[in-house]
Amino acid sequence: MRDRIRGATALLTVVMVIAIAPVSAQGPAPNPTPAFMKVLAPPTPVESIEAPLSARLADKLGQAWFDSADPACRTSKSLDLAAYQKLARTMIVAVGDNMREFSASVQDAPKAEAQFAAQAGRGAAGELQRLANDPVVKEFLNRNRKRAAVELTQTYLENIERALLLRRVQARQASPLATGDDILLEIEKVSSSPLDYADANNKKRAMNRFLELMAIAERAVSETSNQTELLKWGPVRLMVVLEGPLKEHCVMKG
């Protein structure tokens, strides 16, 4: 049962950006989001960065960039640590938005909705919404959003650092996986919360059915997305977001 719960909760991070199209006042309108996925919407990058652990991750990235910036260039522009911490937050959010926009562009909402209905049954989207209002399921979703906020921020940060490594930018790393920082233990504690909670309530019919529908939703979105286009994506694509600001802040040579 626990493996099933772990697989279901992974939906909000593994399929995060594929299923939930961002809302922007600029640029072309994003592809529509499958109706059934709106119940499972993960936090946006802006929301994610506000989580205490996410803010700490951003501050660590800001410190790494402050330490990596050319000292003479940094001094000439009067850039202090606070400027780099602000930059880190801005870049994490911008990268998150960029990844979400790309993933939304490869989804096929009508096909996903048709597959979900075929596999989950007629009226399953409405059932999913009703189940989301169940007190036990609602608490599970609340914990899962807190988990997703931290894990998504970590994902954005790691992809930023991969992009810089691939471009051979000489910058210190801040990702806990690279530094072995103790914050990893705190992230693991947050990540296990929805698993522990759902596992403790696994005999409740509403939770069982909700987890079943989550798994069907994950398959529907994944199997109807354009896998060929997804495979073309790589962290280097994020340099269009990162290069200008990092040059302005003396982390990259311009």
pLDDT tens digits for 192-247? Answer: 777 677 666 555 888 889 989 988 988 898 899 888 888 888 999 999 999 999 99
What percent of the chain lies above the pLDDT cut of 70? 81
The answer to whether residue 165 is domain-embedded is yes
254, part of any domain: no
The pLDDT mean for the chain works out to 84
Please report, for residues 7, 70, 79, 80, 250, the alpha-carbon distance to residue 76 in angstroms, rounded to integers and kept in the order given.
Answer: 50, 10, 8, 11, 10
Q: Are 31 and 109 in contact (CB under 8 A)?
A: yes
For residue 31, the model assigns a pLDDT of: 60
SS3 content of the chain, % helix, strand, coil (to 5): 75, 0, 25
Quick check: 185 pLDDT over 80? no
> Once rounded to an integer, what is the mean pLDDT over residues 128-157?
90
* Chain mean position to CA 93: 10
Which residues fall within 8 angstroms of residue 2, CB to CB, at 6 or more apart? 195, 199
pLDDT of residue 106: 86
Mean pLDDT computed over 145-163: 92
In a domain, 27, yes or no: no
Query: What is residue 112's three-state secondary structure?
Result: helix
Mean pLDDT of the 100-118 span: 89
Residue 207 lies in a domain: yes
Mean pLDDT of 124-131: 93
93, 4 Cβ separation under 8 angstroms: no
The SS3 assignment for 164 reads helix
**pLDDT range class, residue 9, cuts 50, 70, 90:** low
Is the predicted pLDDT of residue 11 greater than 60, yes or no? no
Report which of residues 125 and 18 the model is more confident about: 125
What's the pLDDT at 36?
81
Q: pTM for this structure?
A: 0.85
Better-scored residue on pLDDT, 136 or 240: 240
24 within some domain: no
Closest to 17 measured CA to CA, from 240, 252, 245, 233: 233
What is the Cα–Cα distance from 99 to 62, expressed in whole angstroms? Answer: 21
Instruction: Give yes or no for residue 59 having a pLDDT over 50.
Output: yes
Question: Which range among 40-54, 62-76, 143-157, 187-201 shows the weakest confidence by mean pLDDT?
Answer: 187-201
Question: What is the number of structural domains in the chain?
Answer: 1
Instruction: Tell me the mean pLDDT in the region 7-25.
Output: 46
CB 190 within 8 A of CB 53: yes
253 within domain boundaries: no
Burial 18-57 (b: 16+ CB within 10 A, else e): bbbbbeeeeeeebeebbebbebbebbbbebbbebebbbbb
In whole angstroms, what separates CA 104 from the centre of its chain? Answer: 13
What is the residue range of 69's domain? 2-19+33-248
In the prediction, which pLDDT does 21 show?
43
pLDDT of residue 58: 96
The string over 77-96, giving b where at least 16 C-beta atoms fall within 10 Å of a residue's C-beta and e elsewhere, is eebeeebbbebbbebbbbbb
